[in-house]
Amino acid sequence: MWQKIRYHAFSIYEKTKDIDAALSVLCKYEMPANTSRKFYVGLKAELIFYKGEGRRLSLDPSLDAGVKADFSGLQQGRPISIDVTTNTDYKNIDDYAGPTRKRGRLYLIADVDIKTEKYELFPLRFPLCPDCDKFSHYILFMDTPEMGSHYWASQSQAVVRHCPECWSFQELTNYAYIVDSPLHQLREIEGEQMEDETADPSFKRQPFLDKESTPIVQFFEKIDRRLLSGLAEMDYTTYGPDGEGDWNGILLWHHPLVRNLNDELDYSI
């Protein structure tokens, strides 16, 4: 029934260019109220995205748009498949790894807010792991700051390919930029949080790390020309009474669709 309704709605939209008119086709089909609501949300999300990107991406909402895709299209002359959602929490990117390998085309996820009619497009440009056929990920590791004039900054970085399924790490490129250490800044703030005079009750750890990490990720994506899935900073974790411990990468930030990276990555640069 869903594909029949979908075909009907897009036929109306092509004639009228009116989303509300296209959605009105739902009234012509008998179904439970919860199913009708589910179809309404999904259909409206697709129509919003189609209205915004249909011409630019040469979108085709036909029934053969592809496995796990709502649309096929073209981006810079290359075939793509797009899956539309209103909640990325229900999307497991590894579900798209197999179709990506088999079909040899890029998959994208469109996250649509049907209230604001805004959307964000996420290309799944993650490298396929040759061993497990799932997506692996490019992680930027930052070395811990050293004592001296740049005690507040990392001076060594590396882009590492990591597969969470196989727990493999492959160092690809190295850099030597002076980059502010988010962990150093975080610990200074956490020290202030312990004092009543300087404590900020509105401070939240992860939003702070996201804010500090974003420009770092954007900078290295530009120079390295890879889609980064995570940013980690080296830190010494103690586990013994005499200071025994290990150096690990502390995950500061991760791509919004990547949810299988450990908080601590057992890798050292």
One-character DSSP codes across 87-122:
-GGG--GGGGHHHHHHH-SEEEEEEEETTTTEEEEE
Cα–Cα distance between 73 and 79 in angstroms, integer? 6
Give the list of residues 6+ apart from residue 259 with CB closer than 8 angstroms, or none.
Answer: none
The β-bridge partners of 233 are 142, 250
State yes or no: pLDDT of 194 exceeds 90. no
State yes or no: pLDDT of 24 exceeds 80. yes
State yes or no: pLDDT of 178 exceeds 60. yes
Please, which pLDDT band fits residue 246 given cuts at 50, 70 and 90? Answer: confident
What pLDDT was estimated at residue 31?
Answer: 86
Strongest mean pLDDT among 24-28, 114-118, 196-200, 242-246: 114-118
Please, which pLDDT band fits residue 65 given cuts at 50, 70 and 90? Answer: low
Q: pLDDT per residue over 93-111, tens digit each?
A: 999 999 999 888 999 999 9
Q: Vertex 35, ends 32 and 37: CA angle to 5°?
A: 110
Please, which pLDDT band fits residue 67 given cuts at 50, 70 and 90? Answer: low
Instruction: Reduce the DSSP state of residue 53 to 3 states and report it.
Output: helix
Give the list of residues 6+ apart from residue 127 with CB closer than 8 angstroms, or none.
Answer: 135, 136, 137, 138, 161
What pLDDT was estimated at residue 62?
Answer: 74
Give the list of residues 6+ apart from residue 63 with CB closer than 8 angstroms, or none.
Answer: 3, 6, 7
Cα–Cα distance between 90 and 106 in angstroms, integer? 20
User: Residues 124, 166, 256, 98: is their CA dihedral positive or negative?
Assistant: positive
What pLDDT was estimated at residue 139?
Answer: 99
Domain with CATH 3.40.1350 in the chain: 2-123
What pLDDT was estimated at residue 107?
Answer: 96
**In this structure, which topology does domain 2-123 adopt according to CATH?**
Trna Endonuclease; Chain: A, domain 1 (3.40.1350)
Percentage of residues in the chain with pLDDT exceeding 70? 98
Q: How far from 177 is each of 15, 92, 154, 180, 184, CA to CA, in Å? A: 55, 34, 8, 10, 16
Residue 179 near residue 234 (C-beta atoms within 8 A): no
Cα–Cα distance between 105 and 215 in angstroms, integer? 29
Cα–Cα distance between 205 and 189 in angstroms, integer? 10
What pLDDT was estimated at residue 238?
Answer: 80
The β-bridge partners of 78 are 75
- Strands 118-123, 153-154: pairing kind: unpaired
In the block, which residue shows the tokens 């050292």? 268
